[in-house]
């Protein structure tokens, strides 16, 4: 296997490869771009015009997606997977990955779409670098563009594998991409309704990419991910990379649950209280009239929506950041 196929090993060791560019026996070019960043390019005659960014480790303790990308890279470096697409593999936060921490100083996934310009420290610098790497990778015109940013969640979830679909005013969500997500094992998709500061929102909004955050289960340390089943996603990624994916128009949306964001719960002060158990799971249902949270004396979040659920509850975030989202089901008929 080519040494560059061991990008994870190099990243965790904090080493640069001796050779920055290598070719597989099939002529696939692997090029080291920066720490945790590797570009894979098929021979020109096999290039099908698709650019795929696969990122993981934006939070350093979310290891199942990191291990998934490591397996794909090994297979490419050995020649077992033969790319027809260009791929950029990114391990987002190497410093946090090395310590098994979510982040070093601040949450990297809250520093995109220019947010890093208002901050300092290692995560701010890394967010700027990741934006630059993505922008350069997606700079070639007239190509199909896809970005999957792979995560696992802090807490358990009643719907274990789901995707977040970013928002941009005037841009419609794609039925074909929803079908691709369902085929990749996603049980639900959250259709966002406002701009965001996460990595997938940056590539979707600024670079025009079809981009998604994928949540694949609960975060566990390296080597302890037997309970995170990514078989369907791994198979679909291999098909995308090799250009063997079945036509998306033939894929069904049956069984895919769709949700939209009704409201965000923003923590304004240290007085913030979230009225949920510490171990509450994502997608837990909330009854109408329930006092979900309160902050300053005038700020209360009372459930008004039919079929409301909570996602990403976290009362420990910094003041001014999102402490949870109230979501509600939507019909898939608009995408039939």
Residues 223 and 274 in one domain: no
74 domain residue, yes or no: yes
Residues 185 and 94 in one domain: yes
Count of domains for the chain: 2
Q: For the stretch 265-300, what's the b/e string if a residue is b when 16 or more beta carbons lie within 10 angstroms of its beta carbon?
A: bbbeeeebebebeeebbbbbebeeeeebbbbeeeee
Determine the average pLDDT of the residues in 110-122.
Answer: 89
Q: Is 147 annotated as a binding residue?
A: no
Residues 127 and 28 in one domain: yes
Are the C-beta atoms of 56 and 96 separated by less than 8 Å? no
pLDDT at residue 321 in the model: 86
Residues 109 and 239 in one domain: yes
Residues 101 and 139 in one domain: yes
pLDDT at residue 132 in the model: 98
Determine the average pLDDT of the residues in 108-128.
Answer: 92
CATH number at residue 284: 2.40.50.630
Residues 316 and 174 in one domain: no
Whole-angstrom distance, CA of residue 38 vs CA of residue 73: 9
The 3-class secondary structure across the chain, one letter per residue, is CCHHHHHHHHHHHCCCCCCCEEECCCCCEEEEEECCEEEEECCHHHCCCEEEEEEECCCCCCHHHHHHHHHHHHHHHHCCCCCCCEEEEEECCHHHHHHCCCCCCCCHHHCCCCHHHHCCCHHHHHHHHHHHHHHHHCCCCCCEEEEEEEEEECCCECCCCEEEECCCCCCCCCHHHHHHHHHCCCCEEEECCCCCCCHHHHHHHHHCCEEEEEEEEECCCCCCCCCCCCHHHHHHHHHHHHCCCCCHHHCCCCCCEEEEEEEEEECCCCCCEECCCCCCCECEECCCCCEEEECCCCCEEECCCCCCEEECCCCCCCCCCEEEEEEEEECCHHHC
21 domain residue, yes or no: yes
**pLDDT tens digit string along 183-209?**
999 999 999 988 999 999 999 999 999
Instruction: Show the domain range for 324.
Output: 265-335
**pLDDT tens digit string along 236-291?**
999 999 999 998 877 778 889 999 999 999 999 999 999 999 999 999 999 999 99
Whole-angstrom distance, CA of residue 199 vs CA of residue 90: 12
pLDDT at residue 334 in the model: 67
256 domain residue, yes or no: no
According to DSSP, the residues that pair with 326 across neighbouring strands are: 263, 310
259 domain residue, yes or no: no
Q: Is 275 annotated as a binding residue?
A: no
pLDDT at residue 89 in the model: 98
Instruction: Using CB atoms within 10 Å of the CB of residue 209, give its burial: 0 to 12 exposed, 13 to 18 middle, 19+ buried.
Output: buried
pLDDT at 332 over 90: no
Residues 150 and 36 in one domain: yes
**pLDDT tens digit string along 155-188?**
889 999 999 999 999 999 999 999 999 999 999 9
Residues 272 and 164 in one domain: no
Residues 222 and 269 in one domain: no
Residues 177 and 109 in one domain: yes
pLDDT at 154 over 90: no
pLDDT at 333 over 80: no
47 domain residue, yes or no: yes
Percent of the chain with pLDDT over 70: 99
| Average pLDDT across the chain, whole number | 94
Residues 87 and 175 in one domain: yes
Return the residue matching tokens 């063997």.
244
Q: How far is CA 202 from CA 111, 117, 147, 168, 276, in A?
A: 10, 14, 10, 10, 31
pLDDT band for position 153 (cuts 50, 70, 90): confident
Whole-angstrom distance, CA of residue 194 vs CA of residue 157: 23
**pLDDT tens digit string along 277-325?**
999 999 999 999 999 999 988 899 999 999 999 999 999 988 988 899 9
- pTM higher than 0.85 for the full model? yes
280 domain residue, yes or no: yes
Residues 206 and 315 in one domain: no
90 domain residue, yes or no: yes
255 domain residue, yes or no: no
Q: Is 59 annotated as a binding residue?
A: yes
pLDDT at 121 over 80: yes
Catalytic residues: 215
CATH number at residue 198: 3.40.630.10
């Amino acid at each position: 296997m080519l040494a560059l196929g061991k990008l994870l090993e190099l990243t965790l060791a904090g080493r640069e490869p001796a050779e920055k560019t290598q070719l597989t026996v099939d002529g696939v070019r692997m090029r080291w771009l920066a720490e945790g960043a590797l570009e894979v390019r098929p021979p020109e005659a096999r290039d099908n015009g698709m650019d795929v960014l696969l990122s993981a480790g934006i939070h350093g303790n979310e290891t199942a997606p990191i291990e998934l990308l490591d397996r794909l890279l090994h297979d490419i470096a050995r020649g077992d997977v033969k790319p027809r697409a260009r791929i950029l593999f990114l391990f987002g936060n190497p410093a946090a990955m090395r310590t098994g921490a979510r982040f070093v100083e601040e949450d990297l996934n809250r520093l995109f779409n220019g947010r890093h310009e208002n901050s300092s420290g290692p995560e701010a610098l890394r967010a700027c670098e990741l934006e630059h790497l993505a922008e350069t990778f997606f700079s070639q015109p007239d190509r199909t563009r896809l970005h999957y940013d792979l995560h696992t969640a802090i807490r358990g979830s009643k719907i274990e594998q789901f995707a977040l679909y970013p928002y941009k005013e005037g841009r419609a969500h794609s039925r074909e991409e929803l079908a691709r997500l369902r085929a990749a094992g996603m049980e639900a998709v959250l259709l966002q309704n406002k701009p965001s500061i996460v990595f997938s929102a940056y590539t979707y909004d600024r670079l025009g990419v079809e981009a998604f955050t994928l949540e694949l289960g609960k975060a566990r340390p390296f080597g302890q991910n037997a309970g995170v089943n990514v078989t369907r996603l791994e198979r679909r990624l291999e098909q995308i990379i090799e250009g063997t994916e079945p036509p998306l128009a033939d894929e069904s949306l049956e069984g895919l649950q769709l949700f939209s964001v009704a409201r965000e719960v923003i923590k304004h002060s240290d007085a913030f209280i979230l009225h949920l158990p510490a171990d509450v799971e994502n997608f837990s249902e909330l009854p109408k009239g329930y006092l979900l949270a309160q902050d300053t004396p005038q700020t209360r979040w009372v459930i008004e929506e039919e079929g409301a659920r909570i996602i990403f509850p976290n009362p420990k975030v910094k003041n001014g950041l999102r402490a949870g989202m109230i979501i509600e089901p939507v019909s898939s008929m608009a995408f039939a």
